[in-house]
Amino acid sequence: MLKLGLIGKGISRSQSARLHVLLGRMCGMDVTYDYLDSDQIADFDLIRQLTICAETGYAGVNVTHPYKTSARKLITPRKRLPEALGAVNTVVFREDGWRGDNTDFVGFMRGYRQQFGDAKPGTVLQLGAGGVGLATAFGLRGLGADKILIHDKEAARGEELVATMRAASANAVFIGQDDLADAVRSADGLINCTPIGMNQYPGCPFDTNLFGGQKWAFDAVYTPVETAFLRSAAKSGIEVMTGFELFFFQGIEAFEVFSGAEIDADAARTEYFNAYPEALTG
């Protein structure tokens, strides 16, 4: 029995459980995956919840909003976790302590390479500097992006991410509202890391009149999979990567960390879509 879970706030819509249970079944493992929602746990405290998990047989847990940064301070980072990446989404309980990782940034990198091969990201404009924006920015750094342009409606948050990336030797620049249109036009890649496009926040975060000439686009939203942003990008001849790729590959990376197994991603994709065909459309 491999006992796993997800710690977060308002996580009832998460699809992580079905992915991890399916990956376990592929490996001949009996996997349970519990949702530990702070909205449902009285007097929730992250340290206490992690301790309870460690003491009650969990192999590990995923951590999501708003606890990724706090969890980073409580763990020993795995070697591949960049020192400046101050958030974790995966905690593994070991006899010698708690180990942490961020599979979002490596999951994004795997998804990018799956979709676009060895093509370099070039100059990339990213909207959103929250938790997923932090991970994709580090993913862009790992992929060798020439320049990372960051825009966030909360300028202080955007500038903080830029400072973090510069401290990690990335070429990052904050883009204010007045310069946003020019940044869209000049970018090779466009990334949405805002909630705009989700079923509950419909719309497109970019001015689609500025599309044309960009090479690729990625939307972190995966409910729905085909967002208004990606539909408009594809119509403009831009290659697109859906948010499902991030969800899928970060989940595989996390499961491999939890279990020590090695997952055949192509086989897992086939199994997942056979089991959940609605995931193709969100």
Burial level of 199, CB count in 10 A (0-12/13-18/19+)?
exposed
3-state helix/strand/coil string of 152-210: CCCHHHHHHHHHHHHHCCCCEEECCHHHHHHHHHHCCEEEECCCCCCCCCCCCCCCHHH
What contacts 277, CB < 8 A, 6 or more positions away? none
Whether 35 is catalytic: no
Exposure of 176 in the CB half-sphere (CA atoms within 13 A): 2
Residue found under tokens 């070429």: 171
Beta bridge partners of 174: 150
SS3 19: helix
Structure tokens at 60: 């590990």
d(C-alpha 148, C-alpha 278), whole Å = 34
List the one residue out of 200, 202, 236, 233 whose CA is nearest residue 218.
233
Catalytic residue chosen out of the listed positions 58, 67, 112, 222 = 67
To 5 degrees, how large is the angle CA 91–CA 68–CA 203?
Answer: 125
d(C-alpha 159, C-alpha 170), whole Å = 14
d(C-alpha 188, C-alpha 149), whole Å = 11
Going by the DSSP 8-state scheme, the letter that residue 78 receives in this structure is P
Residues taking part in catalysis: 67
